[in-house]
A and B are shown apart, each in its own frame.
Chain A
Amino acid sequence: MSGDPQQAAAARRGWLLSAPALLLLAVGATGPLAIMLVYSFLEPGDYGNVEWALSFEAWFNVILNRDIFDGTLSFADAHLSIFWRSAKLALLTTLFAFVVGFPTAWFIATRNAGARTALLFLITIPFWTNLLIRTFAINQIIRNEGFLNTFLLWIGAIDQPIVMLYTDFAVFLGMTYVYLPLMVLPLFAAIDRFDMALLQAGYDLYASRWQILRHVIVPVVKPGIIAGSILVFIPALGAYVTPRILGGGRNMMIGNFIELQFGQGRNWPLGAALSVVLLVLVSAALIVYTRFATGGDKPHG
């Protein structure tokens, strides 16, 4: 194969043409990740940045606390509670996005061709519009003096505004809102390929609607379910903007905690170590995704 000069020339040309893109990504994305890994093994500098001395302290600090007096180790409860909140909120977001996303995808897939294109476009627009703006829209609705509370006060349903902003619920709501299209699009792709004759077969065999859903539809569209879940779970786990705008300073997720290390925390190595942890978690989720989702099922974006 490599003996064929024409093939070899084509391969060389392929590399040459890809070189600028590879260089750009090496400088602007992949290379810095390697440097970040190195930084996680250094000592924090006094005013941010690092001291070039080997240290495993940052990695210990990811989950452990070293007592400043006697050096005993204990679990860092504050860190663990942030991890737990991130995992919990990301899972809840994924679950709820599926619960409302599946009927939506099914509804779109069972329309006629024209309506389908229009509805898909309607799902896609929010997906491409600014995440910050969408999160901000939620903020304006649920804040104390926001639309929802103002309306409820006005109709007399409540006499005190319900505090929704800066709670875990707000972060959950916001993330479901912004990531929902990522669930609907791959689900749609899977349902679209579903052979509706299978339903007929199921009903002919006296299956109930629920049995059909559980034993016929779900197994067939499973790749889409996995794809959608991973596509929602990954950005939700690493979310930064949504928890910052809707969770405030107290209801941090991993992303905000990482940022803190580069700001007031002045602990770059810890921030780098936390980033590596997040990257590993996300990579694990991606490996699950590529193992389960079939090759043809590639939603873009």
Chain B
Amino acid sequence: MADRSFSISRLPGFGTIAVAVFVMLYAPIAMLVIFSFNAGDSVAIWEGFSLRWYPEAWANEAVKDATWRSLQIATCASILATTVATMAALGTTRRRATRGQSFVYLMINQPLMVPEIVTAVALLIFFSSIKVATGYQGLGYLIVAHAAFCTPFAYLPIRARLEGMDLSLETASADLYASRWQTFRHVTLPLVLPGAVAGLMLAFVTSLDDVVITLFVKSAGQDTLPTYMLAQIRRSVSAEVNAISTLLLLLTVVLLTAFFLLTRKRT
């Protein structure tokens, strides 16, 4: 019966287009996943179900290496990003807006506004001279670069959480003679925590998916999973890439679902 009142908002053809969009959005990904279970090495002709590509990909030393490196970078970068983002969110919310605050917003959101290729080139120039000057070639550059572009993703959910927070709780705590640290530890932190965990997950996913900045910043032999896949795609198609993609997709969907459940609880 609710449907009747909606008929007024129904526009001809819109429903058809919408359904087509949803199908088109998922069909290519579905094909990719399906062909990761193909017995043959074609990505177009089905030759029967097989799990061979998963162990085959894992047996590849380069894949193992890249996976480990990706996880290492994503873990370090997302923790770093979430830590600084939480501090910045605590420093920029729950008080009157000032000009300094909008400067901090602008700085933190800057990676979202600048095209990735531009940031990548700028980092290549900057880090290459540091590499020459210090001789250090490690993963530090990638971790710093990833942490920087992950910070806005960590910051947004934390800030949203803090803005929805009841300020009187902190005041009440102070009225009860709690020290500033006690207030933070027992009142503010538990309230921020879901936002911080949500931010951490977004930052982790963002770091794990990055191609462009990693490609420009990495030193030789520092392939992450995405840059390894990019190099593979260039050479030839093999269902090995489909298997890796499927696992990465699975990880993303799991983390995103957790994120949605976590942030939905707020209401």
Contact = CB atoms under 8 A, between A and B. Distances in A.
Chains A and B form a bound pair: yes
A213 B178 CA distance: 58
B88 A18 contact: yes
Contacts of A237: 115
A180 B21 contact: yes
Contacts of A146: 43-44
Nearest to B208: A130
Nearest to B77: A28
Given A17-B88, A24-B148, A35 B125 contact: yes
A160 to B, nearest CB: 16
Contacts of A119: 22
A140 B125 contact: no
A124 B14 contact: no
B165 interface: no
Contacts of B197: none
A266 interface: no
Contact of B8 (A18, A199, A282): A199
Given A32-B126, A238-B116, A130 B91 contact: no
Contacts of B6: 110
Given A125-B253, A133-B248, A279 B32 contact: no
Contacts of A27: 144, 148
B137 interface: no
A191 B252 CA distance: 28
B40 interface: no
A203 B29 CA distance: 41
B125 A268 contact: yes
A147 B212 contact: no
Given A14-B95, A21-B104, A24-B144, A137 B28 contact: yes
A245 B95 CA distance: 47
Interface string B5-20: 0101111111101111
Most buried by B among A29, A245, A255: A29
Contacts of B125: 32, 35-36, 39, 268, 272
A140 B35 contact: yes
Contacts of A125: 252-253, 256
A241 B211 contact: yes
A24 B32 contact: no
Contact of B115 (A14, A138, A139, A279): A279
Given A112-B2, A145-B44, A134 B148 contact: no
Given A14-B95, A103-B14, A137-B31, A150 B44 contact: yes
A131 B18 contact: no
Contact of A30 (B29, B110, B260): B110
A103 B112 contact: no
A301 interface: yes
B233 interface: yes
B95 A282 contact: no
Contact of A124 (B92, B123, B256): B256
A25 B148 contact: yes
A30 B107 contact: yes
Interface residues of A, number: 95
B252 A128 contact: yes
B101 A136 contact: no
A125 B30 CA distance: 13
Interface string A101-113: 1011011101010
A106 B209 contact: no
A35 B211 contact: no
Interface string B102-136: 00100110111111111101111111100000000
B151 interface: yes
Given A49-B128, A104-B18, A180-B25, A275 B87 contact: no
A122 interface: yes
Nearest to A194: B9
Nearest to A133: B245
Given A132-B230, A147-B43, A10 B95 contact: yes
9 contacts: A24-B147, A32-B125, A103-B11, A104-B22, A108-B18, A130-B252, A238-B115, A238-B116, A278-B115
Interface of B: 2, 6, 8-15, 17-22, 24-26, 28-29, 31-32, 35, 42-45, 80-81, 83-85, 87-88, 90-92, 95-96, 98, 100-101, 104, 107-108, 110-119, 121-128, 144-145, 147-149, 151, 153, 155-156, 205, 208-209, 211-212, 216, 226, 229-230, 233, 237, 241-242, 245, 248-249, 252-253, 256, 260
What are the 3 A-B residue pairs with the smallest beta carbon separation, nearest first? A28-B148, A238-B115, A17-B91
Given A17-B87, A141-B31, A241-B211, 7 more contacts: A17-B92, A18-B92, A25-B148, A107-B18, A125-B256, A126-B29, A258-B117
